[in-house]
């Protein structure tokens, strides 16, 4: 192994707050309904972070192998692309991370359900398996789904629905309608982060044959798509507030609309790939900020 800095860059630590946003909301709503476990919380966060790191390492390797990481790419240079980490070293790290994910997933399932609820045990073993598949096959394999404009669907499902509803289910052992709209909101915002990344890399991806929604739509229409994602998330949030209002603290998440609206105004003016790159961190942290405020707003009473 080389020094730690290239590995930290490859893990892309700035993506981790976004990955746990669903866990935050699911946990807070479970707490609001009288169900909580520190073990489940810690293991859920660790499992989610390990899956996100696995995805980041796999993307680093896959995009390098498929030619999407080239001299036209605007974002931070990837570890394999730059030669700081060899492809073989990255593959070894990916394999090691898969083992870590399996151990953490089984520990999480055991902490949440014990050995008595076979149906939930099998459900989360299945979810763990397809989560690993999704993490690996976004850019790796013979036909990566990220190269076929399917990344948005997977991000919506896993960062929104699975993360939020799944974490709530770990605590409560039931699915409640109250968690569905927040899950949809986080899914839309997470797809927005991916779309922002894809708008930044639109020209480089098109040259490399990586077909994303942004490549399909082009520069102008992909911006409108972005407005729909962020605006749609805010509309769904307001509908949720109207349907499930309990007390004044529930309005807290509206504060997250401020950076989101500023973000939309910045995207309207964005022209160069660097303009889009500068907003990636903003949207990811705004999503995490939204998740925190949404959750806190329902546990303050």
Q: Domain count of the chain?
A: 1
Query: Residue 151's domain spans which residues?
Result: 4-297
Q: Which residues of the chain have pLDDT under 50?
A: 1
Gap between the Cα atoms of 271 and 74, Å rounded: 13
170 phi, psi to nearest 5 deg:
-60, -35
Among the listed residues 165, 159, 170, 168, the one whose alpha carbon sits nearest the alpha carbon of residue 180:
165
SS3 state at 211:
strand
CB under 8 Å to 159, separation ≥6 — which residues? 18, 19, 21, 22, 186, 187, 190, 191
| Per-residue model confidence (pLDDT) at position 74 | 58
Whether pTM > 0.75 for this model: the answer is yes
| Per-residue model confidence (pLDDT) at position 251 | 95
């Amino acid at each position: 192994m080389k020094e730690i800095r290239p590995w930290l860059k490859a893990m892309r630590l700035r993506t981790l707050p976004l990955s746990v946003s669903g866990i935050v909301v699911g946990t807070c709503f479970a707490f609001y309904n009288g169900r909580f476990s520190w073990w489940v919380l810690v293991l859920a966060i660790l499992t989610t972070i390990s899956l996100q790191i696995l995805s980041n390492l796999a993307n680093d390797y896959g995009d390098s192998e498929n030619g999407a990481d080239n001299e036209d790419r605007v974002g931070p240079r990837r570890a394999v692309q730059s030669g700081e980490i060899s492809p073989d070293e990255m593959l070894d790290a990916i394999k090691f991370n898969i083992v870590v994910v399996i151990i953490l997933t089984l520990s999480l399932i055991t902490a949440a359900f014990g050995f008595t609820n076979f149906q939930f045990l099998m459900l989360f073993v299945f979810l763990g398996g397809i989560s690993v598949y999704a993490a690996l096959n976004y850019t790796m394999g013979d036909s990566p789904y990220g190269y076929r404009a399917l990344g948005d669907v997977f991000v919506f499902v896993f960062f929104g629905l699975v993360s939020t509803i799944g974490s709530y289910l770990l605590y409560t052992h039931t699915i409640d309608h109250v968690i569905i709209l927040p899950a949809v909101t986080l899914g839309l915002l997470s797809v927005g982060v991916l779309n922002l990344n894809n708008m930044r890399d639109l020209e480089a991806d098109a040259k490399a044959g990586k077909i994303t929604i942004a490549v399909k739509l082009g520069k102008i229409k992909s911006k409108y798509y972005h407005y729909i994602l962020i605006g749609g998330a805010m509309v769904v949030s307001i509908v949720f507030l109207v349907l499930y209002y309990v007390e004044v603290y529930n309005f807290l998440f509206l504060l997250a609309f401020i950076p989101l609206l500023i973000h939309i105004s910045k995207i309207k003016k964005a022209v160069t790939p660097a303009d889009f790159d500068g907003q990636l961190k903003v949207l990811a942290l705004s999503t995490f900020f939204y998740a925190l405020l949404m959750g806190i707003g329902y546990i303050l009473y």
